[in-house]
Structure 1
Amino acid sequence: MTKRFPKLFIYLLSALFLLNIVQSFFTELIYDEAYYWYYAQDLAWGYFDHPPMVAFLAKISSFFFDGELGVRFMGCILGVGTFLVLWQLIASKEKHKYVPFFFVLLFSMPLLNAYGFLTLPDTPLLFFTTLFLLIYKKFLERATIGISLALGLVMAALMYSKYHAVLVILFVFLSNVALIRNRFAWLAVATALVCYFPHFAWLYNNDLVTIKYHLFERPNQPYSFEKFTLGYILNLVLVFGLLFPWVYWALLKTKAKDRFKKALQFLAYGVILFFFLSSFNRRVQTQWIIVICIPLAILTYEYFLSRPTPRKWIMRLGLTSTAILLFARVGLVHEPLFPVVYETHGNKEWVNTLKEKAGDIPVVFENSYRRAPMYAFYSGNTSYSLNNFHYRQNQYSIDDSEEKVQNRRVLYVTKYAKKGDISYTNARGTLFYGIFIDNFRSYRKLRCLVEDLPIDLQQDSLMVKVYNPYPHDIDLGNLTFHVAYLNAHKQLQESNKVAFSPLNGAIDRLKSNDTTYFRCTLKSPTMKDIEYIKFGISEFGLRPGINSSSYKLEP
């Protein structure tokens, strides 16, 4: 053990693991973690936004602990696992002499630091990227059936972590296209596809909802050089903190002398270039490029190992960065140390305040897949996110959470009302109102379908099919139909109520598990540059939901 991992390495890694466990215990969840905790309450082979690995990790964590640590424990395990595997990926025989340099280098990377304890899709993505590279390195040394099967399993685990994993696999393949003639490589691919089949089946059974959302339905913004491209370049700096000049210098100066090092370079350059090009279309989030930390950590460590002067500077700045990050980690728990209120501050407080006023009845949050699971986690009560035109679909749109609040007395929480039965403020001082509804009913799974595309606003009428997936008929008298007008970036510009006339004469209800055909006359929007429309249905006076895809208008 000490030959592979020096005692100092084991001591420092143990200290890091203990730090992450303590951090996990005392730090309130961030909103995304609460959302993924909500995933884990109903395990499936897929979810609206992501593949299921993050939910599996949260569920496994709950077997060992309660509370926040019951969400993050497996994140802590994978965090130290990433360090362990990274150490094995470093080829230098001198590495045992420079263990502190290794830890300072990695600990100085802000997101790599954070994902050592937070449970987010990027946490398993980083671990399985590292493990994938380790097995690929062994594959290059000597391909066998066993190694090929292991490589396939890890490729599947990568894809179960986050869809961005396809870039890891793609750029490693592009670094060695001769793999296309390697039967062991094809065995690895076949293994990965077989293991990933349950997720393919889930996507098929859920109408490819995740793919459609990410590729076609996700709202965007008009291009801005400052927000998009310049913001992306800033992200390339932020992901490595104070050490960014040395990291990118190591990438530029490293010469690939073998196929593995070439794979590291292709992975780093490929991801950087891919998202640079993407920045001309949409805003790139910092965590989307997190996988470059893995190849660049290896290249930076190995490049500067034999260069004492710059290594000393890296150690000095790295220790400074480490001190800053440790201070920030304390600030995640102790709010006064932070200049702003962060997501880990005040969640228990606002949840307890709201629970005192709501009692044990379910709480329905308008347009918030973030607050709904946070409330459920800290209160232990039922919650639901009711989404409308002004928001986006999410996991609450496709699971059975709507059924749990139907025909019940609920507290409907919104920040858009001017008054309510109760009110409360969150940690940032935003005022919310709550309205008690004695018999809550919503039908957000009704689907409006248009076949005659693209839609011409000048035509006399448009045929729209409305499918009712519910196990009961729905009274048309309780519904009103609406249309939303969207710009080229699928941002809502305006909405109108429209009349729907049944094609088959006078009917008063939508039959269960059946399709009803309507004619509607669309109004021309008052705003210009409208390129899409989508339909929404309002039930019992609620704001219209998101009941269709975005349909392209005829130019």
Structure 2
Amino acid sequence: MSLLVRAISIRSIGALCLLTIGFRLLQIAVFPVTQDEAYYFYWAKFPDFGYFDHPPFIAWLASLSNIIPGTPWAARLGGFLLASLMFTVMISLARLAGLKDRSSIYLALLLSQLNLGGLILGFIQTPDLPLAFFWLLALHEAAVAIKIDPRRWLTAGVMTGLGLTSKYTMAIMGLVFLYALMRKPRGLLSPWPYLGGLACLITFLPHLTWNYQHDWVSFRFQFGRGLKSEYHVDTNMGNKLPRALDAKVGSPEETLARTFKRPEKKKEPKPPKSKIEKASQRVGNYIGGQLGLWGLMIFPLAIGLWRKRQKNSLDPHVRSLLIASVTVPLGVFGILSPFQNIEANWPAVYVLGASVLLAGSLKLRPALYITGLGNLILIALLTIHAHYPLNKSKAHKDRILYETHGYEDLASYLKQVPGPLFADTYQNTSLISFYNPSQAVTQWPGITRLSEMIRRPEMMKTSYQTALESDQIFLITSNRIPPAIPGFSAKMLWELRDCVDGEFQIFSADDSRYLDLSCEKAVHRWTLAEYKPNTP
């Protein structure tokens, strides 16, 4: 037995929990709010049982943001608490699975909490966080039902229903349960799994009812996006603004925007890829994304699995449940991966069951602990990078900078616009609203894809009639050329440049110094357009 294994104690497990919780607590306060987070935080102002893009649980989690608006830690606190509760559930699941010694339980915790995806999940608020929480709870309750008390299929059903109220990916838990029941003698003959299914349906019923009342809009959007990569959904729009149109050559919008056109570098066109090449690339990206969730841990894990493993002592029926919890999400999305791009987070819940399975097969080695801490350091460096960019060469292509950088400066500048403010995307609308909670910002339809901000009438802060009666309106867009808006003409444009070094530059369309003074390395280039109503 290694010194590391002998050193594991209750205090060691507690120290790991405190380290991770403390790190996440710091992160929820200092990591800048991301685009989708701000969108979900905006939903929290309008409590409901459903929204256009997702089920409602993520909005419920962010409810504290209504009491203390504009503060990341308040909006993220609910999710942080859920992530912290996962420690106790994971310990209990590991014991149910048959892990008896402290080193194995410690390893299960280490793998499930210090992998790269798990660390991020603890402070970035997306629907994947409540999904992971209820996925783990559903596995736990199913393990109890299989091993001890079949009546616990009722609570497994409730947890599955709550998971569906978080993200529809939870639906594949039914296949996980089915496999585990088929592996257990007479498992499908008991009434309790079926009653658990009824409990799931009852728990999920409020969101089902909401979808029925709203033309199944959330289902149609998510399944179109997940199965066909289609983002367009026909639905009634609560936002009664007329759809914006592409600006024509010679229009006021296009003419004013010519100031902000930089000389383009000629690029050699790339030869088109065949369908087989595209499919191979998608599959490769999918596999790489799932391995990447482990971060630095993937290297000692691969070595440990290649070497001789210790004898597996897991309970056979719980082990079947855990195997299904890994293979089902990986298999379902793996089947889809040749046909569309699969985001790394979609099947990420497999990591939870895999952590217990790996803890039952591998020995706790220093390399796993070191690489777990290495993942923590990587996240800390990413946080520093979000505030003080470490790599400035291609800032506009940097996902972290693009999601977070410059929005607070943008919102601060937009406070002074002397008229109703509109935005092109739900991302811009949400982040401006987050940093300026009292400012009315409305997403104008027809510029980018439909969102909850266009579908829900309560989110339309400025009506078309009010806009027409105003002396001028303003639109912030990420496009160089702003759109043509029915009933209005653009009178002036400004380019707002979010420079990677922190400078926030403002140039008007009649500023001849633009090419000489504007920073080359900009994370964002926003166009602020002033429109005036057309005179009869």
Q: 2:389 aligns with which of 335, 338, 341?
A: 335
- Partner in structure 1 of residue 355 of structure 2: 297
Is residue 312 from structure 1 mapped to residue 360 from structure 2 by the alignment?
no
More strand by share: 1
> SS where residue 41 of structure 1 aligns?
coil
- Tell me the alpha carbon deviations over residues 190-212 of structure 1, each in whole angstroms, 9 at most, x when there is no partner: 11111211111111111111222
Give the drift of 1:413: 2.0
**Alignment TM-score, normalising by the size of structure 1:** 0.70
Gaps of 5+ in 1: 441-477, 479-539, 541-555
Structure 2 distance, partners of 1:404, 1:319, is 46
Between 1:165-174 and 1:74-83, the stretch displaced more is 165-174
User: Structure 1: which amino acid aligns with 2:297?
Assistant: L
- Partner in structure 1 of residue 435 of structure 2: 378
Is residue 41 from structure 1 mapped to residue 39 from structure 2 by the alignment?
no
Q: 1:15 aligns with which of 19, 39, 56?
A: 19
- Partner in structure 2 of residue 550 of structure 1: none
Give the drift of 1:433: 2.3
- Partner in structure 2 of residue 27 of structure 1: 31
Give the drift of 1:382: 1.6
- Partner in structure 2 of residue 193 of structure 1: 201
- Partner in structure 2 of residue 349 of structure 1: 409
Percentage identity across paired residues of the two chains: 18
Give the drift of 1:57: 0.3
- Tell me the alpha carbon deviations over residues 276-335 of structure 1, each in whole angstroms, 9 at most, x when there is no partner: 11012110001102101101111122221xx36xx2332343333333333334434443
- Partner in structure 1 of residue 284 of structure 2: 230
Gaps of 5+ in 2: 1-8, 232-272, 483-489, 500-521
Alignment of 1:443-482 (within 5 A): none
Is residue 209 from structure 1 mapped to residue 213 from structure 2 by the alignment?
no
- Partner in structure 2 of residue 270 of structure 1: 328
Q: 1:83 aligns with which of 82, 87, 105?
A: 87
Structure 1 distance, partners of 2:411, 2:317, is 53
- Partner in structure 2 of residue 67 of structure 1: 71
- Partner in structure 2 of residue 173 of structure 1: 178
> SS where residue 289 of structure 1 aligns?
coil
Between 1:189-198 and 1:405-414, the stretch displaced more is 405-414
Structure 1 distance, partners of 2:304, 2:93, is 17
Q: Taking structure 1 as reference, are residues 402 and 46 closer, same or farther at Cα in structure 2, changes over 3 Å only? A: closer
**Alignment TM-score, normalising by the size of structure 2:** 0.72
Structure 2 distance, partners of 1:6, 1:61, is 36
Give the drift of 1:387: 3.1
Give the drift of 1:369: 1.1
User: Structure 1: which amino acid aligns with 2:80?
Assistant: C
- Partner in structure 2 of residue 392 of structure 1: 449
- Tell me the alpha carbon deviations over residues 331-381 of structure 1, each in whole angstroms, 9 at most, x when there is no partner: 34443478743523322112212323x25x442112x11111100110121
CA contact (8 A) 1:246 1:300 kept: no
User: Structure 1: which amino acid aligns with 2:334?
Assistant: F
CA contact (8 A) 2:69 2:434 kept: no
Give the drift of 1:394: 1.6
> SS where residue 417 of structure 1 aligns?
coil
- Partner in structure 2 of residue 129 of structure 1: 135
Q: Taking structure 1 as reference, are residues 179 and 222 closer, same or farther at Cα in structure 2, changes over 3 Å only? A: farther
> SS where residue 364 of structure 1 aligns?
strand
Q: Taking structure 1 as reference, are residues 108 and 190 closer, same or farther at Cα in structure 2, changes over 3 Å only? A: same
Aligned residues: 429
Q: Taking structure 1 as reference, are residues 374 and 10 closer, same or farther at Cα in structure 2, changes over 3 Å only? A: same
- Partner in structure 1 of residue 255 of structure 2: none
- Partner in structure 2 of residue 182 of structure 1: 190
- Partner in structure 1 of residue 251 of structure 2: none
Alignment of 1:407-422 (within 5 A): 407-408=466-467, 409=470, 410-414=473-477, 415-417=479-481, 420-422=492-494
Q: Taking structure 1 as reference, are residues 205 and 104 closer, same or farther at Cα in structure 2, changes over 3 Å only? A: same
Structure 1 distance, partners of 2:444, 2:274, is 27
Structure 2 distance, partners of 1:63, 1:17, is 24
Q: 1:105 aligns with which of 108, 111, 130?
A: 111
Higher relative contact order (CA 8 A, sep 6+): 2
Alignment of 1:137-176 (within 5 A): 137-143=143-149, 145=151, 147-176=152-181
Between 1:213-222 and 1:155-164, the stretch displaced more is 213-222
Structure 2 distance, partners of 1:78, 1:162, is 15
> SS where residue 281 of structure 1 aligns?
coil
Structure 2 distance, partners of 1:316, 1:48, is 42
CA contact (8 A) 2:165 2:204 kept: yes
Structure 2 distance, partners of 1:58, 1:364, is 24
Give the drift of 1:29: 0.4
Q: Taking structure 1 as reference, are residues 102 and 184 closer, same or farther at Cα in structure 2, changes over 3 Å only? A: closer
Give the drift of 1:70: 1.6
Structure 1 distance, partners of 2:173, 2:144, is 17
Structure 1 distance, partners of 2:188, 2:475, is 56
Give the drift of 1:396: 1.9
- Partner in structure 1 of residue 507 of structure 2: none
CA contact (8 A) 2:108 2:356 kept: no
Q: Taking structure 1 as reference, are residues 51 and 248 closer, same or farther at Cα in structure 2, changes over 3 Å only? A: farther
Is residue 433 from structure 1 mapped to residue 527 from structure 2 by the alignment?
yes
CA contact (8 A) 1:250 1:299 kept: no
Give the drift of 1:216: 3.6
Give the drift of 1:243: 2.3
CA contact (8 A) 2:279 2:339 kept: no
> SS where residue 29 of structure 1 aligns?
coil
CA contact (8 A) 2:164 2:171 kept: yes
Q: Taking structure 1 as reference, are residues 65 and 143 closer, same or farther at Cα in structure 2, changes over 3 Å only? A: farther
CA contact (8 A) 1:365 1:385 kept: yes
- RMSD of aligned Cα (Å): 3.1
